[in-house]
Every structure is written in C-alpha cells, then in structure tokens.
Chain A
Amino acid sequence: MKHRIEEINKLQIPTWSRHAINETTISLDFTDLKPYRENPLKNNDNCIQIEENAIKNSSSIRMEENALKNDADTNVKGVREFVRNHSNQTYHIHINDNEVLDEPMVLNFIMDSENSLLIEEIIINAGRDSKATIIISYFSKEDGRHIHCGHTKMNLDKGAEIDLIKIQLLSEQSTHLDKNRVTVGEGAVANMILAELGSGNLISECDVSLESDRSMAKLDSIYIGNKSKVIDMNYRMEYVGRHSQGFITAKGALMDKCRKTFKNTLDFVAGSFGSKGREEETVISLSEEAVNISVPLLLCGEENVEGQHASNIGRLSKSKLFYLMSRGLNEKEAKRLMVEASFTPIIEKIPLEALRNRIFHYISEVIQHDK
C-alpha cells in the first residue's frame, strides 16, 4: 500500500513556483515493512511518568485497519495528520512541576528488518519550573529499507527548561519524516538539537512558538548530504510573546549528488515587542554536483524587534586544506577535520559521550566514502 503525504514543509509565504520549494509531497511504500515493536525506553528510572495506557503497541492493527478501511487515508495533508491516522507508537511524557531530572531521558529507536516501520507520536508536557533533558535517537541496526514518520509535540509551561535532542542515523535506504511542534511558555527555555545525519530521504520540520513573554528557544541543527540523498528541512521560529528570544543555527556539509533544501523562518508576530531573533546557516560544499537550496525567511509584523539572518555557502578554504595536508593529513582526513570543526560546537552540547562518538564516527565514515 502506498501512502501519499502532501503539503509537507510548507513555506510560510510561498515564492516562485519554479524553485519547487513551496511545499513537498512524498509517497511512502509500506510493502514488506514490519511495524516497530521494540521498547525504546532505556535508563529510565527517574521521575518521568510514562502513562502506560498511552503506549500503544498495537501498531500493525491500527495501521492496517486504517489503510484497508478507508482509501482516502492513503492521501493526507501534512505529517501530523498522517501520524494521527497511522501511529503505531504513542508516548506521553509528563514532567511534574518543579521536577528537575539530573539524568537525561533516552528514547532509543533501533530499526531493523523486524522493526522497519515506525510511525510514532511523542507528546511532552513540561510542568512549571521543571528541568529535563530528553534524547530521542533513531538508528538502523543494519542496512535495509526502514521508514520512520514521527510527530513530536512539546509544551513548556512557565519557567520550564527542556533540552530536546534528536539524533537520526538511519540507513541510506531509509526514509525519515520528522515533525516537531514546540510551544514555549513564559520565561521557559527550549534548547533543541536536531542532528539529521542519516537516511537517504530526509524530511525534517520544526515549528517553535515563543508564545509567552520572555520565552526563549535555541534550535541547533547539523546535517550531512551524501550520495543521492534528498534533504528537505523547514524550521520556523514564531515570536508571539514580548521580549522573547529565538535563534536558529544550522551547519551542513554536502557531498556527491545530494540535494538539500533548507527553509528557515523567523516570524515576528505583531505584539512581540522587544523580541530578538537570529538565523544562521553555514554550508560546506564538498561536491561540484550537490544541489544546495537555502531559503531564509524573515517576516516581521512588529516594529520593535531585532531580527537578522545570515547564510554562508562555499567551498572549504583552500589555504586551510593546504595547511592541514602539509601537516601530513590526506585530503579526506583534512576534509573530515574541517567538517567536524564546523559541527563540533553543536555536537559538544550532546550530554552522552557514546552518542557524540557515534556521530563523529558517522561523519568520518561518510567522508571516507565521499567520491
């Protein structure tokens, strides 16, 4: 059964149609895939309440019933609607008021031939003045076609401080669609890292709403494009509350014949008095055949704000490359070092060393195989 999802990653204000960036459509083929049945919760002996009833492992029944019952469901608009109709995993994470979790909570989704289709919904509610780190990772244990389609909804109450870290290292035959919707309450802080490194077909969306006064969010993203990978990312920061602050930083490296579209939007809504925002993208291009599309929108309906964006797209500095090679590194090692140097400020924010090492290892592998 093929499922078609339209209107993904819609650009908030459309522009020339010939760029084909205003929205994305994807078809997902579930043939021969097996619903995810593993439990991704690891090291979770802290104060987080998992509502057992909300964890649905009846994925196959729900998904197949939907597919068989109603053909219209095979054609939906947006990842959120698709996940709502087809999710085979749902998690409700609730962090109590004033609760401070010292250890990060980890959801580790490992995909393989027996767990090759994951459609999950994650709902995170962070109570007033709570503090936690949540790490969600998606790995492929082996080569093969895996599909992940997820919707994470996170709500931060007044004064909450949540670090949400998502790491995606799926196999290159995989498809990954991930939508995140974050609302940040008064004085709350959301720090997010989206490490979108794996999968051959990658669609990533993050929509952050700074809803209340003095709310704050930082969204850091790293991505790598290699082979014929298709990357479509759409990150948006909406400023609603007064004196809110939101920053988007993206670092990418492009190789081979990949195609990357990165849309990032700062949207200052009328009334977001005193807010500040910045978006910044730095792309290192390592291939003459890669396609690199950047669309940094800056939308403003409020006079008293400061917004800026900057994009830098270019080749590796020849002088730096020459210097490193004169120190005995071969060209690929030198390139790896320079990509790592660009990504490291973001990777270093990930609290688990094993994950950091896994990312560095992945980068090294990808560059080693760069043609």
Chain B
Amino acid sequence: MDRNKTQIEDINRSIYDIHDKEAAAHQVERGLSKEIVTEISRYKDEPSWMLEARLASLETYHRLGLPKWGPSLHELNMEDIITYVKPNTDMKTSWEDIPEFIKNTFDRLGIPEAEKKALSGVGAQYDSEVVYHSIKEELLRQGVIYTDMGTALIEYEDIIKEHFMKLIPPSDHKFVALHGAVWSGGSFVYVPPNTEVRLPLQSYFRVNAPGAGQFEHTLIIVDKGSKVHFIEGCSAPKYNVLNLHAGCVELYVKEGASLRYSTIENWSRNMLNLNTKRAIVDKNGSIEWVSGTFGSRITMLYPMSILKGEGARSEYVGISFASEGQTLDTGTKVVHLAPNTYSTVNSRSISKKGGKATYRSSIVVTPEARDSKSSVICESLMLDSSCRSDTIPVMDIRNDAVDIGHEAKIGRISEEAIYYIMSRGISEAEARAMIVRGFAEPIAKELPLEYAVEMNRLIDIELEGSIG
C-alpha cells in the first residue's frame, strides 16, 4: 500500500518574486573583461590601488580552475552575467528619499518596519549598490561606524586598505578572485573597544535585474572587548536566466570581543550562491555563525573560523532546506591555531522533492592548539525518497591534547514518534509538523524573532494523509 504522505510545503515566495521593471542608472555589458573591471572602478571613482587590486584579481580568476569537488557549476557562463548594475538612485539615509519602486520592495520584505522595532542600523543593497544606510545616533556617539563599503573606501581608506581581502585573498578560489575583480556594495562595520551594540545591525541584499551578479563585500572589525550582532538577509525574484551571488565577508574579532553573524539566505531558484565568509578571532574572542539556507539553485557556503588567539571560540549553527531543483552544499570550516580554543558545530538539513542537501565541514587542529576541544553534531532529515542527503566531514588533528567528537545521523520521521504523539490525541499531520519543527528548533531559537517566524512559515505543514 502506498503511504499517503503529509506534504511539507515550500515557503510562499510571492513577496520575493515581485520584480521591478524600472531601468537601471548604469550597467556594464554582459561578461567579464579587463575593460568591464576598469569601467566599474572608474564609474565608482575608486582610488588607483583598488583598480590595481581588481585587475590582479581578474588575472587570478583566469588562472584558477573550477573546484574539483562540490556541485557542478557547468551552467555558469560568465559571458551571460552582468557584473554591475547601479539602481536609479544614490544612497539615502531616509526611506522617504528612496524611489518608490525600491522602497516598496523593501517594505514588502519588512525592512523599514524591522528597523523601527529592533535594529541599531540598517543597510539595504539593491543590485550592485547600497541604496539606504542608517545608524542610530547613540551608536554614532559611541564611535561605531556602520556604512556602505563605497563610502568606507573614501572615508576610511587606510583601514579598508589594511583589511580588504587580506583575510580572504583572491587566490583562495576562483569565485573569490571573481569577487575581487568586480565587487560592489556591502557594509563596513567598526565597533570601538569596550562597546556593546545592544540591538543588531542588519544589511539586506536584494537582486532585481535578471542575469545580474551581486558581489557585495562585508568587512566587520569588532575591537577589544566589544560585542555586536550583525544580520544579513538576501533575496531575489525568480527569472529564467541564472543570477550569480559571489559575496565576500571578512570578520576581524579582536581580543575578548564577540560577534554574532546571522544570515538568512532566501535567493530565488535561478541563483548560484557562491559566497565566502571568514572570521579571524583573537584571544578569548568569540564568533557565532547562525546560518539559514533556504533558497538558490546551488549554494556553496562554508563560513570559516580561524581561532588565532588562545581561548578563542567558534560556534556554528546552521540549517538548510533543499527542495526541488536545489543543491545546497553547506557547512563550516574551523582552524584551531592556538591553545584552549573551542569550537562547536550544530548542523541540520531537511531535504525533499529531489532536493540535495550536503553538509561539508573541515575541522583542523594544529600542533600549537593544545587542550582544544571541538564538538560536531549534524543531523539530516529526508522527507521523501527522491531527495539526497550527504554528510562529508573532515577532521585533521595534529596534536594529542585534544578532545574531538563528531556525530552524525540521517533518517526520516520516526513512525513510532508519530504514533506516540497521535496517542496523545494529536492528528498525524500536526504530529509530523511538530517533529519537523522540533528538528529545526535548535537552530530557529538562535535566529532573530522575525527570521524565526519566516522559518516557521517555511516549514508550513498542510494537513493531509495518514500513516500507511
């Protein structure tokens, strides 16, 4: 007898799929060339060292091959990608000054509303440029800097020059090199010593133009003893052509500082999401990655923590939901470089309808990192037999004074658990919903409230079917 299954629906994408038809103020030709890279830099009126860095990155891009592992990227043809699209507005500090069609987009996404309620500052990027940036007065008085990267490159050139693509050099892999050549937009955050930013800062990245690439750069420096929570959200309407996202996030966490970096990625399913994120953490510093990957056609994303100082800590909490036509290859990398460093990984994936969820990780403990600990837990839930779920962890341990634990589980919703819940008077559909929500709960509770609500919408259960 066929089992009549409860359907676990995808997120209602209608609010993300509305695209604006307004013309861009400026966009480069499709493809990738020295001329295009030079045009981007000149249009943005950048210092000459940045143009040189871009051109060097372009050479690196041409020299490097595609990765020999991970999902196939054969669909990507850079000749079809528009690497720079400037929206028809400059950056504003008031929503009222932003053209109506862009404002409406961010209104639908709930950004201005969230800003009023629960954020210290907001940045909003539309295609290749940031269109809105603001920060609360009190943080400005404390010396906190939160601005777009274009502005930072002019106003804080020395800091940018010292840190930009130093943690993630263009030689790291092909798409970082691409980023180095055509990057645009993104946010720069500096939190001065012993400053606590109580409410989160949030940047939202929206791609609107079909066939466009988005290459924003986020640079955050949290100085000694400070604390901040940064949230990034991403979405795009669905098109029939591929879009490309190859952002880059460099995080510097100084001694005793603490940074939480939360991401909810909800790209449309024509997006190749090849993002690179890395944090370097000094003595007794702490980085927390909270990562939700729901959208995109292909994602390759592995936030990396380099625990450089003694007592540095890293925590990764991630969930992915792979559905029809999606390959979500996610995970994390941790390098323990110093004694008494500590890392934890908690990863959950859900897959259905032919979706492919892969957890990939690398935990490296160097000879110097004595008395370090690492604990990895990854669990995968498959909702039907058309999907795939793979776990590919690597542990490279180079000293004996460590405690390393790794556990992984894979499976489906237990019929016994369903039966038990039903025996308490709850319907089968609700029982399944409870189990899926329970599976995701350890991650959901780490998300900001509005994103937890968004994730619960994602795991939207329809009542149907019975145990068969």
Contacts and interface: CB of A to CB of B under 8 A. Distances in A.
Given A16-B362, A313-B402, A293 B411 contact: no
A288 interface: yes
Interface residues of A, number: 42
A293 B394 CA distance: 7
A298 B411 contact: no
Contacts of A286: 400
Given A15-B394, A300-B410, A288 B367 contact: yes
A297 B383 contact: no
Contacts of A290: 398, 400
Contacts of A302: 382, 385
Nearest to A20: B396
B224 interface: no
Centre residue among B396, B402, B412 by max chain A CB count within 10 A: B396
Give the interface SS of chain A, mostly helix, strand, loop or mixed. strand
A303 B383 contact: yes
Interface string B351-373: 00000000010100001001000
A13 B329 CA distance: 12
Interface string B372-399: 0000000010111101111111111111
Contacts of B395: 292-295, 311, 313
Given A290-B400, A310-B406, A311-B405, A19 B362 contact: yes
B398 A291 contact: yes
B390 A299 contact: yes
Interface string B391-427: 1111111111111111111111000000000000000
B400 A17 contact: no
Contact of A16 (B69, B398, B405, B410): B69
B244 to A, nearest CB: 22
B394 A309 contact: no
Contacts of A345: none
Contacts of B67: 17
A6 to B, nearest CB: 15
B68 interface: yes
Contacts of A295: 392-395
B396 A16 contact: no
Contacts of B383: 303
A318 to B, nearest CB: 10
Nearest to B405: A312
A303 B412 contact: yes
A308 B385 CA distance: 18
B402 A289 contact: no
Contacts of B394: 15-16, 19, 21, 293-295
A210 to B, nearest CB: 16
B404 A312 contact: yes
A304 interface: yes
B407 A287 contact: no
A307 B397 contact: no
A15 B400 contact: no
Given A13-B69, A15-B69, A301-B388, 19 more contacts: A14-B68, A16-B394, A19-B362, A22-B68, A254-B400, A268-B410, A288-B367, A290-B398, A292-B398, A299-B388, A303-B412, A304-B412, A306-B409, A308-B408, A310-B407, A313-B395, A313-B397, A315-B400, A315-B402
Interface of B: 67-69, 360, 362, 367, 370, 380, 382-385, 387-412
30 contacts: A15-B69, A15-B362, A270-B385, A286-B400, A292-B395, A292-B398, A293-B396, A294-B406, A295-B392, A296-B406, A296-B408, A300-B388, A300-B410, A303-B383, A303-B387, A303-B412, A305-B410, A305-B411, A305-B412, A306-B409, A307-B411, A308-B409, A308-B410, A309-B391, A310-B406, A313-B397, A313-B404, A313-B405, A315-B400, A315-B402
